[in-house]
């Protein structure tokens, strides 16, 4: 992982930490840990096989804070660790044969996209951060809903009813929280 390719344009929050390669490796591990811990904060819902989790919020923050390469690497490592059988997914799950696995695939795509937008300074004000976080959430849905439909053997409308509709309020809260946290962090750094 070349530091030059990671920090080639506008910095993200993590670029302020000195140390290059060691920093990048530690940041990827830290991002994976944040996603893992947030994934454990999950509430099973009786009307859908997809749990309510804070992992999506962690993915948005990780992608924006670490940038596209480190953010995607963090989400990818989380995915890989779970695939090999370590119980890091919501509810202590692992592997790939469960209804919400598609959302986890979407974490990698969302972290990369959100990180790329953060590199373009989209995480510096509330309005653009709302868009950044909404796009990241949509990308997670884009991967999760088709997987859910295939896994359950249902049509797309049913998958949307199980895998999007119950989460709209919670994900809106996560998007708004992201739009508060990231610009606030940049304002704090600017004052230092």
Residue-wise pLDDT tens digits, 21-42: 888 999 999 999 999 999 999 9
Query: Cβ-count burial of 89 within 10 angstroms (0-12 exposed, 13-18 middle, 19+ buried)?
Result: buried
Q: Is the pLDDT of residue 5 over 50?
A: no
Domain count, the chain: 1
pLDDT digits (tens, 9 = 90+) for 123-142: 999 999 999 999 999 999 99
CA of 177: how far to CAs of 22, 56, 85, 97, in Å? 30, 12, 32, 31
Residue whose tokens read 């819902």: 45
pLDDT digits (tens, 9 = 90+) for 11-21: 787 777 667 78
DSSP, collapsed to helix, strand or coil, labels residue 89 as strand
**146 falls within a domain:** yes
**5 falls within a domain:** no
pTM equals: 0.89
Distance, CA of 130 to CA of 85 (rounded, Å): 35
pLDDT for 152 equals 97
Query: Cβ-count burial of 18 within 10 angstroms (0-12 exposed, 13-18 middle, 19+ buried)?
Result: exposed
Confidence band of 8 (pLDDT split at 50, 70, 90)? low
Residues 6+ apart with CB under 8 A from 51: 42, 43, 44, 45, 90, 91, 100
**170 falls within a domain:** yes
Instruction: Return the DSSP state at 42.
Output: E
Range of the domain at 71: 15-191
CATH (domain of 167)? 1.10.1760.20
Which of 15-29, 54-68, 98-112, 148-162 has the lowest average pLDDT?
Answer: 15-29
């Amino acid at each position: 992982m070349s530091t030059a390719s990671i920090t080639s344009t506008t910095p993200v929050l993590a670029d302020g930490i000195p140390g290059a390669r060691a920093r990048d490796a530690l940041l990827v591990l830290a991002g994976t840990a944040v996603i893992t811990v947030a994934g454990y904060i999950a509430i099973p819902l009786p009307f859908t096989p997809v749990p309510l989790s804070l992992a999506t919020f962690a993915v948005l923050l990780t992608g924006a804070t670490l940038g596209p390469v480190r953010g995607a690497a963090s989400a990818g490592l989380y995915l890989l660790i779970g695939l090999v059988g370590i119980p890091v997914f919501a509810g202590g799950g692992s592997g790939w044969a469960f209804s919400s696995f598609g959302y986890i695939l979407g974490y990698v795509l969302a972290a990369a996209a959100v990180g790329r937008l953060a590199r373009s300074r989209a995480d510096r004000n509330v309005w653009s951060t709302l868009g950044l976080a909404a796009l990241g959430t949509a990308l997670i849905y884009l991967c999760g809903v088709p997987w859910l439909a295939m896994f359950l053997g249902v049509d797309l409308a049913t998958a949307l009813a199980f895998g999007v509709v119950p989460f709209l309020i919670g994900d809106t809260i996560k998007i708004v929280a992201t739009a508060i946290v990231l610009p606030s962090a940049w304002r704090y750094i600017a004052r230092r």
